[in-house]
Each structure stands twice: as C-alpha cells, then as structure tokens.
Amino acid sequence: MGQILVRKIDDALLERLKLLAKDRNMPVEALARAALEEAAQRRTSEETRDWLERMERLRAMTPASTVDSVTILRAMRDNNDTDD
C-alpha cells in the first residue's frame, strides 16, 4: 500500500481531527484515511461534464409531454388515466 506524508497541518486542524477521532473511537490516521477515500470518490470536472452531457442526450431522447406533473400525480393518486 502507498503512503503520503502531509506537512504543515494547522495546529487547530490537527487538534480538531484528534477530537473527532477520539469521539469516533478511532485513530487519527483512520479518520484521515476515511476523509481521503471520501474525497477520492468525488467526480472530477471532466467526469461531471461527461455526466451532464449524457443526461442532456437522454433528455433529448425523451418525448415532450403535454400533461403537467400535477395532472400525472393526481391521476396516480386517484388511479385515473392521464391520456387526454
């Protein structure tokens, strides 16, 4: 497994991390590892752009409807048909 060394951590930040780790009954290293894993799950700007483009392509393939959402929800509630 790889390792990193983080230098110049603000003293107040380190104390906060120690407090959080103690509260969660875990070592500071485990808390930091969890934070890094969470941060690594975030999309990059390129991934976000690709996702948005994909959603736009899907939206373009979806036919427009003349029935508004209120009508659809009421029909679902009342077990009625929405086709007019």
What is the pLDDT tens value at each position of the chain, 84 positions in all?
A: 899 999 999 999 999 999 999 999 999 999 999 999 999 999 999 999 999 999 999 999 988 888 888 988 998 999 876 555
How far apart are alpha carbons 28 and 81 in whole angstroms?
58
- Looking at residue 66, its pLDDT comes to 85
How far apart are alpha carbons 56 and 45 in whole angstroms?
16
Angle at 59 between CA 40 and CA 79, to 5 degrees: 110
Question: What is each CA distance from 76 to 4, 29, 63, in whole angstroms?
Answer: 55, 51, 20
How far apart are alpha carbons 15 and 10 in whole angstroms?
9
Q: Quick one: DSSP state of residue 63?
A: P
